[in-house]
Amino acid sequence: MKHALLLIDLQNDYFPNGKMVLANSVKAGQSAQQLLHDFRKNKKLIVHMQHIATRSDATFFLPDTYGVEINQLVKPNVGEKIILKHYPNSFQETQLLDYLKKNHIEKITVAGMMTHMCVDSTVRAAKDFGFDIEVIANACATKDLEIKGRITKAEDVQNAFLSAMSYYFSKVINTEDFFLANK
C-alpha cells in the first residue's frame, strides 16, 4: 500500500511568539519531526500543507510574514511537495487530491495543527475520498476553545476531537505506536 505523510499547517504562528500559539505546539512539532525523518529515510511521499490567510479579518497566517512560514522543526527539503491552502480542509480548492492520486497513495499518516479545525476537516474529507488514514495524536496540537462564556481546555478539545476521529474516520495512535508498527 503506497503511503504518504501529510503535515498540516505546522507554521510559526502556532508556535511560541506566534500570533495563535497552541498548547503543546513544540512537543507536537518535535513528534512531527520524528515522523518526517522516518518518511525521508524510507523515501516515502511527504506533503506539507501551508495555510495562507485570505480573509480580510484574518489575524494570523498573513501573507509574507514570519508567522506563515513552515516551522524549522519540519522545514521542507528541496523537492518535497508544499501545497498552499486557504481553508481548513486541505482538499478544498487545492491540488492535494490529484497529487495523492497521481502518486497512487492509499494510506495517509497525518500530523498537524489545529486538531479541532484543519486536522479534523482534512481527515474527514480524506475518509470520504477513500483513503486509509492514521492520525498521530502527539504530533497534533490545538488550543482552548470558548462558547457562551465557557472555556474548554486544549487537552479536552484534543481528546474529544481525536476520540471522534478514531470512531470511524481514522486510526489514532502516537509516534511510539507508529514506529513499533513500521519497524
Report the distance separating Cα 50 and Cα 11, nearest Å: 7
Q: Left (φ > 0), alpha (ψ -120 to 50) or beta: where does 11 sit?
A: beta
What is residue 118's predicted lDDT score, i.e. its pLDDT?
98
pLDDT in tens, 153-166: 999 999 999 999 99
- What span, in angstroms and rounded, lies between the C-alpha atoms of 84 and 17? 23
Identify the pLDDT of residue 21: 98
pLDDT of residue 11: 98
Which numeric CATH code is attached to 3-181? 3.40.50.850
The pTM for the full model equals 0.97
Grid coordinates representing 99 are 497529487
| Residue numbers of the chain with a pLDDT score lower than 50 | none
Beta strands, E only, 14-169: 45-51, 81-85, 107-113, 132-141, 145-147, 150-152
Q: Are 134 and 173 in contact (CB under 8 A)?
A: yes
